[in-house]
């Protein structure tokens, strides 16, 4: 009677053994609790942390960019693209730093950038027209995750209102300097010279009285 009661429990225990053996199989890279693979998307940095992009310098003739890749992440040289939203502003051929050759599982033999990469981008913008620079790039991790293409936008150049205000401030300072020089010159004219002894007497009396 006792064995007949224990028999269903023994059968359940035998059925559960194979499933438990898979959990403790060390040949499979899984987490200890849920049996999920360790090499999944949660083990990788978000794209803005893996590939940081900064606009360093702008001018009429060039734009300087800096890419900062996290350790173990790289950018494809052939996946860069640079465009301007203004028809009167054109983007030239980038001045690339030295890239590293790499045999990639996604694109084959390619050139890539690791670490910090400074890029000089020629710009044909003789009027210094404000425009939006769009930068497209794509990178991967050494562990095997390839990110989708990323697009960043930067506003380059001063807006018309700011440029006009800056020009107006420069004109105001020049006008103030001219007025100062003109007033200084008037103090030595014949009309003003007779007033100098009177002003000197007033100043001296004020000092003696104090």
112 with 31, same domain: the answer is: no
Mean pLDDT of 55-71: 95
130 with 28, same domain: the answer is: no
pLDDT of residue 59: 84
67 with 126, same domain: the answer is: yes
**Using one digit for the tens of pLDDT, what is the confidence trace for 169-208?**
444 556 555 655 555 554 555 555 555 555 456 445 655 5
Q: How many CA atoms lie within 13 A of 36 on its CB side?
A: 7
CA distance linking residue 133 with residue 79, whole number of Å: 16
The residue assigned the tokens 């559960």 is 16
Mean pLDDT of 57-66: 93
pLDDT value at 100 more than 60: yes
In contact, 158 and 166? CB cutoff 8 Å: yes
Q: How many domains does the chain have?
A: 3
pLDDT value at 23 more than 60: no
Q: Which two tokens stand for residue 197?
A: 């002894």
111 with 199, same domain: the answer is: no
Residue 60 pLDDT class (50, 70, 90 cuts): confident
Average pLDDT of every residue of the chain: 75
Q: What is the extent of the structural domain holding 165?
A: 161-209
CA distance linking residue 138 with residue 79, whole number of Å: 6
Task: Pick the last residue of a domain from 123, 140, 157.
Answer: 157
Q: How far apart are the first and last CA of the chain?
A: 125
Q: What is the DSSP letter of 80?
A: -
72 with 144, same domain: the answer is: yes
CA distance linking residue 37 with residue 44, whole number of Å: 13
Q: What is the CATH number of the domain that holds 65?
A: 2.60.40.1250
DSSP secondary structure, 103-114, as one string: EETTTEEEEEEE
181 with 133, same domain: the answer is: no
Residue 43 pLDDT class (50, 70, 90 cuts): confident
Total-model pTM: 0.58
């Amino acid at each position: 009677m006792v064995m007949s009661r224990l028999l269903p429990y023994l059968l359940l225990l035998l059925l559960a053994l194979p499933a438990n053996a898979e959990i403790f199989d060390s040949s499979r890279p899984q987490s200890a609790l849920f049996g999920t693979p360790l090499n999944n998307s949660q083990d990788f940095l978000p794209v803005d942390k893996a590939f940081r992009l900064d606009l360093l310098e702008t001018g009429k003739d060039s734009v300087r960019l800096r890419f900062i890749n996290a350790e173990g992440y790289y950018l494809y040289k052939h996946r860069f693209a640079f465009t301007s939203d203004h028809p009167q502003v054109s983007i030239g051929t980038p001045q690339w730093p030295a890239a590293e050759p790499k045999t990639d599982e996604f694109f084959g033999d390619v050139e890539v950038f690791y670490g910090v990469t400074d890029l000089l981008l020629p710009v044909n913008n003789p009027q210094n027209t404000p425009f939006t620079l769009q930068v497209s790039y794509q990178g991967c991790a050494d562990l095997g995750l390839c990110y989708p293409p990323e697009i960043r936008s930067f506003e380059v150049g001063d807006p018309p209102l700011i440029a006009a205000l800056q020009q107006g401030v420069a004109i105001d300072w020049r006008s103030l300097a001219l007025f100062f020089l003109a007033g200084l010159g008037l103090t030595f004219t014949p009309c003003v010279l007779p007033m100098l002894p009177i002003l000197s007497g007033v100043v001296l009396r004020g000092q003696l009285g104090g």
